[in-house]
Chains A and B, each alone.
Chain A
Amino acid sequence: MLVSVYRYNPETDLKPSMQDYQVEIPGGKDLMVLDVLALVKEQDDSVTYRRSCREGVCGSDGMNINGVNGLACITPLSEVVKNDKLVLRPLPGLPVIRDLVVDMSIFYKQYERIEPYLQNDDPVPAIERLQSPEDRAKLDGLYECILCACCSTNCPSFWWNPEKFVGPAGLLQAYRFLADSRDTHTDERLANLEDPFSVFRCRGIMNCVAVCPKGLNPTKAIGHIREMLMERGA
């Protein structure tokens, strides 16, 4: 199989280029894209990428696979390869550190901005803050995010305004804390999102939903935030 990998070392290369490798795919099983990358690295150990858990949990190997963002470790070749060709590029829109490794600072900055931790001004109870099973259920589909950035780097609004638009991943987590019955900072949280950029740059085209490897739905969460902002404004 022909594997074409994006190569760029900002310290030595004038501009990025694609490098082709011919990789022998062992028959009998459906390899994951990450396995193929390991075979490429056997040929050329200068090829650089991130990975850790190799089972879709850590979120470190998000990349653009044949044009679609996804986690290399849980993307089977059968799902993405047509015409025996695999093209691997870094996540779009973020600065490249090297090859498939991108600088995620701005992504984390937006995450930090939504204050992703429980805030509660009520006196601390003796044991723990309780939550009913129904209230706990409201966090399903929100807390599972692994911050792989596949969604935000697939979002045009995030490409154009990554400093001002929180992006789907950050907004999913913003809603995770807005929806939490134990959090008492709802009003401050909403006030921080009311400007024309943070939430309202979302045009609802659902590029984020299309690629989330965990099957989450940031667009729906963004819709809920908008409703909460509207109720607060009314």
Chain B
Amino acid sequence: MQVSSVTNFGRSGLSDWLIQRVSAVILLLYIVCHSAIILNTPEMTYALWRDLFAGTTMRIFSLLTLLALCAHAWIGMWTVATDYLTTRMMGSKATLVRLVFLIGCLAVLAVYFIWGVIILWSV
């Protein structure tokens, strides 16, 4: 008996699990990096802040983090939805509710990602 996983885009549980952990590390690194920069800058000005994000390395790092965030959020929300928005918990309407919820999540993440890219490239 194989458990079907149609709704998670055919990814395996293993890759989900790995992505979740790798993306968490990326997010943590990003936070630590920025905290360190802010704490080590006596007076943060607009010009400094702008320069910081204009560099290619930072741009790639930010983009990677944005990707990690979206992947992390998607896997997390998919997992939450398949735990709580199930036929077992709420009857036959569950499949529709879950679908709507997940499409909503996808839409928010897509907007968030595109918006993020636009911001990064506008610097």
Contacts and interface: CB of A to CB of B under 8 A. Distances in A.
B91 to A, nearest CB: 15
A226 to B, nearest CB: 7
B14 interface: yes
Given A113-B1, A160-B89, A164-B3, A195 B13 contact: yes
Interface stretch (B32-40, B44-52, B58-66, B79-87): B79-87
Contact of A200 (B2, B17, B88): B17
Contacts of B95: none
A196 B83 CA distance: 12
Contact of B2 (A161, A195, A196, A226): A195
B122 interface: no
B83 to A, nearest CB: 4
A126 B99 CA distance: 57
B84 A160 contact: yes
Tell me the interface secondary structure of chain B in the complex. helix
A229 B3 contact: no
A47 to B, nearest CB: 29
A92 B101 CA distance: 29
B96 to A, nearest CB: 19
A230 B16 CA distance: 12
A199 B13 contact: yes
A113, A157, A161, A200 interface centre (most CB from chain B within 10 Å): A200
Contact of A192 (B2, B82, B84, B88): B2
Interface string B1-36: 111110010011111111000000000000000000
B14 A229 contact: yes
Nearest to B83: A160
Task: For chain A, give the interface size range.
Answer: 10 to 19
A196 B88 contact: no
Interface string A166-201: 000000000000000000000000001011111111
Contact of A198 (B11, B13, B79, B84): B13
A233 interface: yes
Contacts of A199: 13
A197 B3 contact: yes
Contact of B86 (A160, A192, A200, A201): A160
Interface of A: 113, 157, 160-162, 164, 192, 194-201, 226, 229-230, 233
Given A196-B82, A233-B12, 10 more contacts: A160-B88, A161-B82, A161-B83, A162-B88, A194-B12, A195-B2, A196-B8, A196-B13, A200-B14, A200-B17
Interface of B: 1-5, 8, 11-18, 79, 82-84, 86, 88-89
19 contacts: A157-B83, A160-B83, A160-B84, A161-B82, A161-B88, A194-B12, A194-B13, A194-B14, A195-B2, A196-B12, A196-B79, A197-B5, A197-B13, A197-B82, A198-B3, A200-B14, A200-B16, A200-B17, A233-B12
